[in-house]
Each structure stands twice: as structure tokens, then as C-alpha cells.
């Protein structure tokens, strides 16, 4: 696959969920993995927004990168339609894109970064400059992920088992991964001997995606039901829980895939360390704490059905929050490309972001 960063091959780093191929955006359709490995190509911003909303692409960094490339497509089409008023016309596209999913801060971060560039562009075709910026966002994410992998793995004793929740690998990022990037780096240097993956109901990102990535890379892994995590910890099988983040508030409270909070509670009870791995683009200093993070609620059918077959009785109702909030006092370390914050506080997070 094409590499936007043009770097040499890195062990356990072969998967790209988001790519720019022949002047179009290309995404792996993550809804149908691992049964089928299929790419979908996009040429307009509305379809890109639907891909984000419908979870063709998911994971905060990958969503942000997708959004950046989607802005390139929007600018191309608006400029072709009217070279004089494309800047005004594209504002509706940017809003539609930013509203595709409310919790992941990387989506709005990427849209605002592209919007700022649009404002300062000279007259003429904007596509080249916007594409260069989108490629930069993509390449920077991969570099950041590799750095986070090194920093996170350094915290783990050699030969450890670790537990992940949801999917935080190459499929959720520009490449390599955040929490799963730590697993990749840790396995490569012998610090991680085995990865346990929560299946992550109701979308089964752990079963369908994380397990698939680990099998592709040849990293020893065991899939467990979410409800088995606490008992696994009691058996002494894991030293760290390693998760990603969709938004980190100013005080270190973290929004991540539903089920993360209960895993953090279980980890604290069993003296298992808890690590959050995310780029600084996921840190939102404008959000004071976790109570201010909007939590996306998804359709009831995702819980009431499985694989297109209804599993709950007719008339039953479901509550389906896509994310939950893990308070900072349950987090042992937040790992970013800028460094590691242990036992996060508002002051420590501010210092990290000012560095």
C-alpha cells in the first residue's frame, strides 16, 4: 500500500485504513471485516461524511485524516463549479463534515485546520495546497503513533500480558496505531508477550478488527468477551490495560469506547495499570472535564440485533451510548507523541500541551 510518509518499512506496520490513491480517497470498509477485505473510493465530501457516520472508517485519528482528505474533495468540486465563490460554498461542506460524529475531537480539529488554511490561500485552484496539508496530517499521525508506541512500551515490564478494548490500531489511525501501536512496539522489543483483546460490544471492534490486525501481524493474541476482563485480571494474566481515546479533557478525564470505564474500575481493583494512548490532537483543553464531553448515542438496533438478526424480544428497548468517560484518577499514564503524563491532573495536562 502507498505510504504517505515515505519512510522505511517498520515491523508490524503494514495496514492502512485511509489512503489517497489516484486523486481520490480510499477507505477500507471496516463494517465487513474480517469476512471481506474491501476498499471503497470516494470523490465527494457528502459521501465521506456518510462513511464517517456509518463507520466505514472509525477511530478518532483515522476520522480526522479522512476529514482532511474530504476537504480536498470538497474544494475540488466547489472550485470546478465556481472558481470565484468556492470559499463561501465550501463552508456548508465543512459544517456537514464536522457534524458527522460529535464525540471524537479529531474530526473537528482536522476540519478547523483545513478551514484555517482555506482562509489564507491565494486565489487560484486550492487543491494542491489542501492535499499537501492533508498528507501532512496523515504522515504526522503515523510518526506520532510510532513515537507513542516507543514511549508506552517503555513503561511495561518485559514479558507482560496486556489487555486492549475496542480497536486502536492501524485501522483506527493513519497507520501503526495508538494503544495497539504500543502493543506492536512492545511485542517487537520483547516487553509484551501476549495481547488480550476485548470483543467490544455492540460493534465488535475488538473481535472483528483488533484480532484481525494482530493475526495479520503475527502477534500472539487471545480474544475475550468484555465481561471476562475482570476475571482475566484476577488470574494475573495482564499487567496493563492499554486503550485509546476519542477526547481527553483538560483535567485528564478521557472519553473512549463504551466499556472502557468499567475496565478501568476493574483494573484499579486488581492493581493492574491503566494506560491511555492518544495524540495531542485528541486533548481538548477547552473541555474542562469529562462531564462536558458530548456522548454520542447510536441506534437501538445495534444492541437489539446481531449480524442483522434480532436477538432481543419485540417490544424491548435498548440504551446504546457509543462512549463512556474514564475519570483521570483511574488513569496511571496518558501517552502522547509529546511525552507521558503519569497520574494526570489539570496542571500536568496543561504543561504537556504547552511543551
Active centre residues (catalytic):
246
Taking a C-beta distance cutoff of 8 angstroms, is the pair 137, 109 a contact? no
Closest by Cα among 1, 4, 7, 14 to 184: 14
Rounded to whole angstroms, what are the CA distances from 180 to 169, 213, 244? 5, 9, 8
Q: Residue with C-alpha cell 463504551?
A: 258
**Please, what sign has the CA dihedral across residues 245, 229, 217, 26?**
negative
The answer, yes or no, to whether the previous bond of 34 is cis (omega within 30 of 0) is yes
* Alpha carbon distance 62, 50 (integer Å): 14
Grid cell listed for 235: 488470574
Amino acid at each position: 500500500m502507498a505510504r504517505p510518509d515515505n519512510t522505511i518499512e517498520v515491523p508490524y506496520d503494514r495496514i492502512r485504513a485511509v489512503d489517497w490513491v489516484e486523486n481520490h480517497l480510499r477507505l477500507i470498509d471496516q463494517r465487513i471485516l474480517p469476512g471481506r477485505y474491501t476498499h471503497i473510493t470516494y470523490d465527494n465530501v457528502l459521501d465521506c461524511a456518510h462513511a464517517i457516520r456509518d463507520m466505514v472508517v472509525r477511530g478518532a485519528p483515522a476520522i480526522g485524516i479522512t476529514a482532511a482528505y474530504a476537504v480536498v474533495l470538497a474544494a475540488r468540486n466547489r472550485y470546478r463549479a465556481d472558481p470565484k465563490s468556492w470559499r463561501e460554498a465550501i463552508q456548508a461542506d465543512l459544517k456537514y463534515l464536522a457534524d458527522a460524529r460529535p464525540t471524537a475531537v479529531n474530526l473537528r480539529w482536522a476540519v478547523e485546520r483545513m478551514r484555517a488554511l482555506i482562509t489564507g490561500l491565494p486565489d487560484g485552484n486550492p487543491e494542491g495546497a489542501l492535499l499537501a496539508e492533508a498528507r501532512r496530517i496523515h504522515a504526522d499521525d503515523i510518526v506520532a503513533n510510532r513515537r507513542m508506541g516507543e514511549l508506552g512500551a517503555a513503561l511495561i515490564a518485559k514479558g507482560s500480558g496486556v489487555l486492549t478494548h475496542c480497536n486502536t490500531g492501524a485501522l483506527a489511525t493513519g497507520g501503526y496505531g495508538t494503544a495497539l501501536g504500543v502493543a506492536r512496539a512492545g511485542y517487537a522489543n520483547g516487553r509484551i508477550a501476549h495481547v488480550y483483546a476485548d470483543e467490544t460490544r455492540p460493534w465488535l471492534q475488538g473481535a472483528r478488527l483488533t484480532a484481525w490486525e494482530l493475526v495479520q501481524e503475527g502477534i500472539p493474541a487471545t480474544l475475550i468477551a468484555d465481561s471476562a476482563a475482570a476475571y482475566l485480571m484476577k488470574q494475573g494474566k495482564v499487567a496493563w490495560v492499554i486503550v485509546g481515546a476519542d477526547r481527553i479533557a483538560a483535567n485528564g478525564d478521557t472519553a473512549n469506547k463504551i466499556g472502557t470505564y468499567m475496565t478501568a474500575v476493574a483494573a484499579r481493583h486488581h492493581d493492574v495499570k491503566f494506560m491511555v494512548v492518544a495524540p495531542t490532537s485528541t486533548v481538548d483543553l477547552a473541555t474542562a472535564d469529562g462531564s462536558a464531553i458530548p456522548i454520542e448515542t447510536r441506534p437501538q438496533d445495534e444492541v437489539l440485533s446481531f449480524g442483522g438478526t434480532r436477538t432481543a424480544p419485540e417490544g424491548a428497548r435498548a440504551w446504546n451510548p457509543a462512549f463512556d468517560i474514564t475519570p483521570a484518577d483511574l488513569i496511571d499514564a496518558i501517552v502522547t507523541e509529546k511525552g507521558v503524563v503519569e497520574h494526570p491532573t489539570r496542571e500536568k495536562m496543561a504543561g504537556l500541551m504547552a511543551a
